[in-house]
Chain A
Amino acid sequence: MQTAGVAAGGFLLAGCDDEDPYALEKPAVPGEDRWYSGEEKWVASVCGQCPAGCGIRVRVVEGRAVKIEGNPVCPINRGGLGPKGQAGLQLLYHPDRVRGPLRRAGPRGSGRWKPATWDEAIAEVGKALTELRNQGDPRSLVVLDGEPRGMVPELWVRFLDAFGSPNHIQHRSTTDGIKVLAMQYMHGVGELPAYDWDSTRYVLSFGANLYESWCQTIHFMRASSLMRRGMPGRRVKLVHVAPRFSVTSAKADEWVAIEPGTYGALALGICHVLIEKELYDKNFVSDHTFGFEDWTDEQGKAHRGFKDLVEKDYPVSKAAAVTGVPAGTIERLALEMVEHRPAISVADGNAGAATNGLGTAMAIHALNALLGNLERPGGMLVQQALPLKPWDEVERDEIAEKGHAGPRIDGVGGPRCPLGIGFIQGLPESILSEQPYPAKALILYRSNPVFSKPDGRRWIETLQKVPLVVSCSPLHDESTLWADFVLPDHTYLERWELVEPIPSVGYPIMGFRQPAVVPLYDTMATGDVILRLAKAMESPMSEAFPWKDYRQATTERLKGLLEVENGSIVASKMGELGKGLTRDGGWHAAGYPFEQWEGAFRTPSGKFEFYSQAIAGKLAEVFPDAAVLEAHLAKAGITSRGDDLCLPHWESPRFAGDAAEYPFILIVYRGINHAEGGVRHLPWLKEVPLDRRKAWKDCVEIHPDDARSEGLREDDLVCVESPAGQRSLSVHLNPGVRPGSLAVALGHGIWPPRPEGKDSPSVMSLLANASEPLAGVLALQGTRARVRKV
């Protein structure tokens, strides 16, 4: 197997002037000019099937991409590649791809389209957006951006910055929001944590489906191989706590069954053991944390410390009663973690997302601090920023300033979502009621809210209410159906891009995506669409984007890498850097600088905060009147008050639906072959549920005893009903489902989408649109349901 193509990948130096920021030319698509019979090339690139950013190598034969392999030089996956990554070819060659820009030719939702040229489509959308600005109403533009980080999100932010809209709305509040928020409020870093799996000795997973679908699945699998068999005589113990017996449960060294929604109580019970037996890392707690002991603020007001809270409120007996985990097990887990340090406790954005999500994520995070494993080998790390050269700041004009002065349309920072970072699930309410203001244009980038958010039908109404909807989807998905324009994106195997993977190892990693094939259709990278839209608009939009194209805009930022001395590619000239990037498909720094306490915690105290002063500050800002806060908490059913709200704590989870009417708790999970649904159109992934007969079927899993009492048998067709919706699913008897609950995998659904019928557009629409009352994170585990045989 050769890497000939990579070397030939053509980097042209625009002269040898190293000062020219654009010296790095776009790599040519291999064989763009011609292919010889039987000619084969390998292209190093980055997978785009999930945000993990695994390095890949694509085998291209005579212009056709025929196989994707993992790239051994990428520190995330080190040569391995998961099933979704393997199936990327089926996305590239999917028959349902949008083959060029489209303009709606019938009523919305009719599926009738008229082809447009790019110039026409961009001009029309640009004109509509310019009008919005000229009307002095720039904030009525909303961008739904499903990519958590990277260049395109940054370009959207820049676009909206210049345009004058604060409404760059991402999906975090319905995915991994609670983990990000726990990091933000306790660490001062609003990003997912990274972990040093290679040196850890014990892993306690609170519902994190480490082997199936969480943030960095393939990375963890590679690490787990080393954790189990890589060190003679030493095996890292993996304990998985979850209500449902999943693949991760089966593969873990120990599985602990737990009541749904009670992870926080278990974490605090374990903290109780550590504190009571004085087994926590006292040096770390005294040197690097804030709010452990009771303290007094500058005004002389006494505050409660974490220690007092745990000692008084969370005795092991209470934790055992709440979680259903025996007290002996809780004590044993605590002792094992202490004896096998460094030990990591991992929260999960999906499993922990209940109405008590933020307190839960904070409790699990606090356990890491008690064990003193933050910023240390074998512990939990903060993802370091990529040393990319920042773009020049946007100069906002008067219209933009005015637009940014107002609130966000989703209500973040207001009483609806005082502590959150986004509230996408609240958008239908905002847009339909025109509160705080109407939305007049909506752009969907990697976002399919009709399918992937609760209230799918309401989202359809919402999209219909907005006068201009533009979708950048490469496929005709459920939301694109209701758009006015489709400006189809390239797939990740056709475009040039710098990729910022979600946190994995902690040190900076950048993926370098290069086109493996010539774009199949008349599609365009969304980065270019943003630039062209801006250029089609009047000043100051066009000035904010001085670059020729997306490639040039991002290339400029690569200059920052030239200054790093210990990266995987050390280069002093852009040309050298480019050669390295085309060869490796990415760049990464040498390693993580452990125990650099200076600047490790970006909180008000500069330390890890058990007591989050940021939460206290935000609550005081949003609710200046204590009585209003009291009313808000009472209305939301929150029992904690005062300092407890700023500390890791546990509230009883609330479930939508009456227990008598809806006897089952609905547990939703992400499986490895579907995740959240962005890949459900790929036949290879449709055919690999563990029970092969379930291929192509959407199932509801039920415990055999419950099935018997409901009179259900395997493969029966049932209607699962919740207070929010209903959906026809096939019964799968699974003894691993906790009695009294139903388990449904997210991301399943029919392809191509069928808008008719009574069924909710997706499993997500079975979920009640209930959120964590303060953090605004969707309570994925917060709905009751019943089954009815049909």
Chain B
Amino acid sequence: MNDLREGSSKPAETHRRSFFTTLAAALAGIFLLPRRLFSSEPARERLRRKWGMVIDLDKCTGCQACVVACRAENNVPVAGPAQTQNDRGIFWMDMLEVSEGSYPDLQRQLTPIPCNHCENAPCVKVCPVGATFINEEGIVAQVWARCIGCRYCTTACPYSRRYFNWQAPSWPETMKNQLNPDVATRPKGVVEKCTFCHHRIRRAREKARAEGRELADADVRTLPACAQACPAEAILFGDLGSPESEVSRLARSPRAMRLLEDLGTHPKVVYLREAKWKE
């Protein structure tokens, strides 16, 4: 069962399974409890926060480091050959590809898409049990344990950013070692989605509090796993609620756009259009 060699890490390994179960329960619990108990920032300040992301499609190289980094950070299960054929692979951060034209006059748009964390989120409105909600920092959150798996939200989301767990997550025994202890795994029958790496935000906030200061732009700039991995620095994270933040500045760029803006969902993921070289 446990393949690690004799050694020091053994004591931790032997009760890993129970550790994960406890951790999962604990994290789910933390999600449910009033956030201010755990928060380090004053409530007033948190209310001001509006986390958002800017993705520069001109810098993006379509490499999918963000996609793999997200799966690694958030314990997203591998779907496997059979489930992939049924389009049941789970990608909190996905790469949308649109091609058009005919040889040799071709165009191809590659767009990394995480959850848009809409201010007016259609998924939240349809959830019959309140499993999904917009938290005080603007993150569209999901309580795994509360989800009943009705999949209204996956249908309602115009960006298809929600995924249903058609099967229980599974990993080869040895690969369970790589699971991130900060993120709970999700059981079969619930819907899961991008959290803007909420656990990382919480960590950064605790660190800032320990240092006796407020969260700064530099603390969160590449905070989510996708942004941190991006080799081209195309993904930036920050507070859209503060007009001086880098993301706010970029969101005012003439290249800025949001996906399906006319639906009135008010996404908090802002894209910067691709440009081409001009003389």
Contacts and interface: CB of A to CB of B under 8 A. Distances in A.
Contact of A64 (B9, B94, B99, B103): B9
A522 B4 CA distance: 10
Nearest to B73: A67
A250 B73 CA distance: 29
Interface string A110-147: 00000000000000000000000000000000000000
A62 B59 contact: no
B13 interface: yes
A693 B178 contact: no
Contacts of B230: 80
A211 B61 contact: yes
Interface in A82-129: 82-83, 85-87, 89-90, 92-95, 97, 99
Contacts of A66: 177-181
Contacts of A32: 7-8
Given A67-B73, A81-B65, A739-B103, A229 B175 contact: no
Interface stretch (A33-41, A359-367, A413-421, A717-725): A33-41
A62 B276 CA distance: 48
A692 B91 CA distance: 10
B12 A81 contact: no
B95 interface: yes
Contacts of A695: 79, 81, 84, 89
A247 B110 contact: yes
A33 B12 CA distance: 12
B17 interface: no
Given A66-B179, A225-B59, A518 B8 contact: yes
B64 A688 contact: yes
Interface stretch (A373-381, A400-408, A679-687): A679-687
B158 interface: no
A739 B80 CA distance: 33
B62 A224 contact: no
Contact of A691 (B64, B97, B207, B234): B97
Contacts of A519: 5
B174 to A, nearest CB: 5
The residue among A66, A69, A92, A254 with the most chain B CB atoms within 10 A of its own CB is A66
Contacts of A224: 59, 61, 232
Given A1-B203, A229-B58, A82 B5 contact: no
B87 interface: yes
Interface string B161-203: 0000000000011111111110000000000000000000001
Contact of B78 (A520, A672, A683): A683
B229 interface: yes
B229 A86 contact: yes
Nearest to B4: A520
A218 interface: yes
Contact of A245 (B73, B97, B104, B180): B104
A257 B103 contact: yes
B80 to A, nearest CB: 7
Nearest to B9: A63
A594 interface: no
Interface residues of B, number: 71
A391 interface: no
Given A225-B232, A739-B103, A93 B78 contact: no
Interface in A633-647: none
Contact of A35 (B8, B222, B233, B275): B8
A67 B225 CA distance: 10
A86 B68 contact: yes
A696 B176 CA distance: 21
A249 B61 CA distance: 11
B116 interface: no
A684 B8 contact: no
Given A83-B63, A89-B178, A696-B80, A31 B95 contact: no
Given A77-B231, A81-B229, A693 B8 contact: no
Contact of B103 (A31, A253, A736): A736
A697 B109 CA distance: 23
A83 B104 contact: no
Interface string A205-219: 000000110000110
**Interface size range of chain A in the complex:** 35 or more
B62 A690 contact: yes
Contact of A31 (B9, B99, B276, B278): B9
B216 interface: no
B71 interface: yes
A554 interface: no
A256 to B, nearest CB: 8
A755 interface: no
Interface string B60-96: 1111110111011100001111001101010100110
A430 B178 CA distance: 44
A65 B59 contact: no
B178 A90 contact: yes
Nearest to A257: B104
A295 interface: no
Contacts of A211: 61-63
A70 B107 contact: no
A125 B32 CA distance: 61
B1 interface: no
Interface in A512-545: 517-522
Contacts of A64: 9, 12-13, 177-178
Given A245-B108, A522-B5, A92 B95 contact: no
Given A35-B12, A683-B78, A247 B61 contact: yes
Interface string A52-75: 000000000111111111100000
B106 interface: yes
Contacts of A328: none
Interface in A238-266: 238, 245, 247, 249-251, 253-255, 257
A149 interface: no
B132 interface: no
B101 interface: yes
Contacts of A34: 8, 11
B103 A245 contact: yes
The residue among A77, A217, A228 with the most chain B CB atoms within 10 A of its own CB is A228
Contacts of A37: 12
A693 B104 CA distance: 25
A170 interface: no
Contacts of B84: 687, 692-693, 695-696
Interface of A: 1, 31-35, 37-38, 61-70, 77, 79-83, 85-87, 89-90, 92-95, 97, 99, 211-212, 217-218, 221-222, 224-225, 228-229, 235-238, 245, 247, 249-251, 253-255, 257, 517-522, 672-673, 683-688, 690-693, 695-697, 703, 735-739
14 contacts: A1-B207, A33-B8, A67-B180, A83-B67, A99-B3, A217-B63, A217-B231, A229-B56, A235-B278, A250-B62, A690-B62, A692-B91, A735-B103, A738-B103
Given A34-B8, A517-B9, 20 more contacts: A1-B203, A66-B180, A67-B72, A67-B73, A70-B229, A83-B63, A93-B176, A221-B63, A222-B232, A222-B233, A225-B59, A245-B106, A251-B60, A518-B9, A520-B174, A521-B5, A690-B110, A695-B89, A696-B81, A736-B106
The 8 closest A-B pairs by CB, nearest first: A63-B9, A80-B231, A257-B104, A250-B108, A253-B277, A696-B81, A221-B231, A62-B12
Interface of B: 3-5, 7-9, 11-13, 56, 58-65, 67-69, 71-73, 78-81, 84-85, 87, 89, 91, 94-95, 97, 99, 101-104, 106-110, 172-181, 203, 207, 222, 225, 228-234, 275-278
